[in-house]
Structure 1
């Protein structure tokens, strides 16, 4: 009896301790949160000066513990950036924006969306000034929306048009005895072309040429309207090569040093002291103070990165995390509609199909609206095509309805260095693959049949989702990529617009006048990730490859590491 009393007393003590700890912890968090809110004074300027990388979605909010320890996010969430600018648009204390640096990995669709938000900001009788020592083409595309564009006296504007570079490895493979056995379906499915040819095919050259011309048409049109200049003439005659020429031909409004730029803003505000608020501090304030939730919710489910079979994480789309998010949103009675934000070049065909099926099931419970980001191509389009409505930016890269498979083979290298492999099997059916043995034609046929089956299934999915005949889909498929504008013309998307347009459409569809957003999926961050203790993390390696202009090596490795039949975009376009 005494033993039971002792156990119960211990359990009660433990329970009371936990309750006290939680209450104290909450109090500390609230206290720290209040202390960390940055004051926004009247007559302030919001300064956008961002470095590092940006993702479509960053679910990790700024919390007091990480802030107190000086731990900051290495990756900025585009979702959080947009919320901050939308808030600033109607913040009476914010009079203008000082636009400086943006992350270099920001995609054109994100830039297009951000540009629209800045135009809305200006529409509230507020100003935008831009300053940089030099402008990359991406930076200039965004900055051209400003009322005044300034540059350092020795600066330049990199306005050079768009290009796409493709490297070919056929001779390299033959020289060293390591090659990729390629099986594909799609006249334009050229992701594997570098491994089977020494030069670009006519079909691939045609699609890349038309694609970058379509993207450039949108970019140059926006710059021309904002700056009232002939953009193609500025590119051909290289008007941006110096600050003087940039000023003379209307690319910029002033060349000055940064202290003179600050004085210029002071003059606009009629103040002696310039009150600046960094965009990161402003985002922190939103994270700490924006705690009000409406009863009605719109779920925004983010699918960003390459599609791989498995769990998935913040940078990789795995079917397990996506299915879980879609099922949770479909079951949640407070969620009235789902906006599925897709920003992906594609990947695993199997994972894509499983996610497609989860979208179909979610649609039976509530509307599913797709918003396309920089890419929603191949597998990215596969998971999007069944939605009730699809929104894309004019510069979104989409389509690429096609599949392929690659089998690494080093049989020639093995022979050259004296390696021999023998296999003993129970059945002689050719269904065995070894990287150091020639690929059996019977095995290759099995893979080929699998690719044909998946391609036919892909066509059926698009046909069903877009209400088109299979033959009509096949005519615009074959692995070909399209911009958002072209995709609208051929019926692959329904409307040109960003994430905000998709959310607004979803809310109107379910008659939700007052609603809040629920962003999904959620991800657990452990201490190892928080403190970035792994010096050999993939992001660090990718950063090094980018630093030394070796993205091609990372892209090649990515293709060679792909497992199973792939539905992914055929190439990567450099826009610099």
Structure 2
């Protein structure tokens, strides 16, 4: 009894101590926030560093505890970045922008959208300069929009053209006795190809070459315009790696000077009219957004609803990182029930996922389209299930560098029958009926494969019909550009899968035109709420299993682990783009 009493007392004491520490954290954070009031000084430079993960939509929680414990850190919303650059153009305290990026944790389409916003910023007459010790291809692509691009005298530019690498696991399955049974429709459906072959199929090589070339050409055209160099010259530089060091980069006019960071700061002082003896006034993009510059102010009554569908499509609720039918359908319902919402823009950034969930979301959009115009804006990726949920919109916009299409489906089932044989495990089944069934301990039967293939074919046929209806095409026409093939945004226009090239703002403007409104404001959906368990798991000292694996395995090995894990946990028939497509 005494032991129990002491145990209870210890537990209560621990909770009291934690409560006191918690209150001290709040007090310190409150004092810190009061002492660090952010202001934009005269003759300031807006500094773009883009260190966080760039998401199309990264809403910040209004819960003060989330801010204190860093739940809002580590991510940047593309919409806020673009709005901040737009606001800086008319901000009298901002004299110019300094781009300071060596790597961008975002996709090429997102990078292009930021670059286009910077290009528009230059029309204000304000300057843009860029500096880095090292540029990778995405950071150079972004920075090349600047009036002047500078590099460390001993720096380098990784300018070599786009490439991607696909890992194949067929032999690993044979050696371990653990394999994935794959049933698919779509000769280009390469998401499961690594588990079927030892090397890349010609169909997959063809499609990857096609869209990589399309995206690369788009990047080259933008760089060509900014740097006043022909596409042919840029390809020659990429082929021979003629920007691999600062000297070569300067000789080939890829940069405007090799300087140290202090010398670069002096150039910014000259550009802002700051005395060499005074400190340069800077404000980071993050701070600029934090004081409200990441929003467009409007008092209009009419609203355009922007619903963000970002991440893998799953069956269930969904959250900020995944697309669930419950969350999206609820957002659609809220938008259509609001009498001030005049149109909906669905922003899609997804490789797809659950075919059933894609169908549920498609149905929700079909019902919403009977009430309001719907326009789709595609981000980095709107493929397979991501295209499924987009296909019935009134108008579809894609970025030129968007990856879309991949109209095809597959199913995968784990099988360890060979491993069971190797270690001497025998599984015996007893059933009341003779219908085809499946056991991971037995080879897949022909009867079960036939039944599952019928399911895959049914989903594929439905997918084709949905696209044909939404795009005003014949089913046969859709099938000719489907088969799981991936297209760039530019290619998708030619194939009739997309209507227009443009960014999210273009899509919003078009939605307003369809709704016949000129004065409007944007309302973002859905709203995300973090439950208590998620908050606890997100504490800095409560590392997730995924983060621990990343630290232990390293980024490259972690990608392999994650790809295998994703495939091994799939449920139901999938409408999904390739997992392991990492363009660099």
- Residue correspondence of structure 1 range 252-291 to structure 2 within 5 A: 252-272=255-275, 273-286=279-292
- Residue correspondence of structure 1 range 121-270 to structure 2 within 5 A: 121-229=121-229, 230-270=233-273
Give the distance between the partners of 2:583 and 2:343, measured in 1 at CA: 35
Alignment match, 2:414: 408
Residue segments in structure 2 that go unaligned for 5+ positions in a row = 1-28
Distance 1:408 1:289, change over 3 A: closer
Alignment match, 2:512: 507
Alignment match, 2:25: none
Question: Given the alignment of the two structures, is residue 453 of structure 1 paired with residue 458 of structure 2, yes or no?
Answer: yes
Aligned pair partner of 1:328 in 331, 334, 344: 334
Superposed CA offset, 1:137-161 (max 9, x none): 1100100001111111110000011
Alignment match, 1:16: none
**Length-normalised TM-score, structure 1:** 0.91
Alignment match, 1:523: 528
Alignment match, 1:480: 485
What is the Cα deviation at residue 575 of structure 1?
2.4
Alignment match, 1:307: 313
Distance 1:545 1:216, change over 3 A: farther
Of the structure 1 ranges 265-274 and 254-263, higher mean CA displacement relative to structure 2 is found in 265-274
SS of 1:376 mapped into structure 2: strand
Give the distance between the partners of 1:522 and 1:287, measured in 2 at CA: 20
- Cα RMSD between the aligned structures? 2.2
What is the Cα deviation at residue 41 of structure 1?
1.6
- Residue correspondence of structure 1 range 434-449 to structure 2 within 5 A: 434-449=439-454
Distance 1:539 1:396, change over 3 A: farther
Give the distance between the partners of 2:62 and 2:218, measured in 1 at CA: 36
Alignment match, 1:23: none
What is the Cα deviation at residue 380 of structure 1?
0.3
SS of 2:156 mapped into structure 1: coil
Of the structure 1 ranges 550-559 and 399-408, higher mean CA displacement relative to structure 2 is found in 550-559
- Count of residues in Structure 1 that have an aligned counterpart in Structure 2: 547
**Length-normalised TM-score, structure 2:** 0.89
Of the structure 1 ranges 365-374 and 36-45, higher mean CA displacement relative to structure 2 is found in 36-45
SS of 1:134 mapped into structure 2: strand
Residue segments in structure 1 that go unaligned for 5+ positions in a row = 1-28
What is the Cα deviation at residue 52 of structure 1?
3.1
Superposed CA offset, 1:201-238 (max 9, x none): 11111111111111111111111221123210111121
Give the distance between the partners of 1:64 and 1:149, measured in 2 at CA: 40
SS of 2:448 mapped into structure 1: helix
What is the Cα deviation at residue 355 of structure 1?
0.3
What is the Cα deviation at residue 62 of structure 1?
6.5
Superposed CA offset, 1:173-227 (max 9, x none): 1112111111110111121111111111111111111111111111111112211
**Is the contact between residue 69 and residue 539 of structure 2 (CA under 8 Å) also seen in structure 1?**
no
Aligned pair partner of 2:475 in 470, 478, 501: 470
What is the Cα deviation at residue 514 of structure 1?
2.1
Give the distance between the partners of 2:557 and 2:85, measured in 1 at CA: 32
SS of 2:105 mapped into structure 1: coil
Distance 1:47 1:454, change over 3 A: same
What is the Cα deviation at residue 502 of structure 1?
0.4
Aligned pair partner of 1:563 in 548, 565, 571: 571
Give the distance between the partners of 2:294 and 2:165, measured in 1 at CA: 44
Alignment match, 2:6: none
Alignment match, 1:342: 348
Alignment match, 1:316: 322
What is the Cα deviation at residue 405 of structure 1?
0.7
Of the structure 1 ranges 238-247 and 525-534, higher mean CA displacement relative to structure 2 is found in 525-534
What is the Cα deviation at residue 293 of structure 1?
4.5
Alignment match, 2:24: none
**Is the contact between residue 50 and residue 102 of structure 1 (CA under 8 Å) also seen in structure 2?**
no
Give the distance between the partners of 1:562 and 1:179, measured in 2 at CA: 14
Aligned pair partner of 2:495 in 490, 493, 518: 490
